[in-house]
Amino acid sequence: MGRQKIEIKKIENEDARLVSFSKRRTGLFNKASCLSTLCGADVAVVVFSPAGTPYSFGSPRVDQVLTRFLSGGKEPVEPAIMRQNHVAAVQELSRQCMELESRVEAFQTKRRNWRSVSGRLHRFEMSRTEWVWRSCRGSWTRCGGSRR
């Protein structure tokens, strides 16, 4: 059936309101982080809880984003250099992450193949062991041995 649209109105129950705020705050900060990562945007979010507690999220940092906002969008020279270093570091980490993901996938493929080979080898060893056992039992019988 999917999600249903809920009516947007203030939650009357205070406990439910605090729980909803906590969950939605986390979601809001996750969305802000994604926006910053995917688009390279500077993001600052400041939220006050119903109890009056301030919460903030910033990428790169709240104070840097707010300083830039209050200065009319002008960015000092040093942060521009720092941003280039930050972007280069993020790109390098992304490359390393993709490399590790491909190595994990290759390892999992090898493990699946090994399990397949291991199963066939086990069946082969069992049939070979059974053949040796039958041969020994037949030789024992031919030599005049008796089973007690």
Q: 32-41, 76-85, 104-113 — which is least confidently predicted?
A: 76-85
Tokens standing for residue 102: 């491909």
Q: What is the DSSP letter of 143?
A: T
- Measured at the CA of 83, the angle between CA 80 and CA 89, to 5 degrees, comes to 150
Q: Strand runs (DSSP E) across 5-75, as ranges?
A: 43-48, 54-59
pTM strictly above 0.85: no
Q: What is the model's pLDDT at position 140?
A: 72
Residue with tokens 């688009």: 39
**Residue 47: what are its φ and ψ, rounded to 5°?**
-135, 140
CB-CB contact of 68 with 74 (8 Å): yes
Q: What is the pLDDT of residue 53?
A: 92
Q: What is the mean pLDDT of residues 94-109?
A: 91
Question: How do residues 36-51 score in pLDDT, each as one tens digit?
Answer: 988 989 999 999 998 8
pLDDT, average across residues 67-87: 76
What phi-psi label fits residue 118: left (phi over 0), alpha (psi between -120 and 50 degrees) or beta? Answer: alpha
Q: Higher-confidence residue: 77 or 27?
A: 27
Short-list 52, 49, 51, 79, CA closest to 63: 79
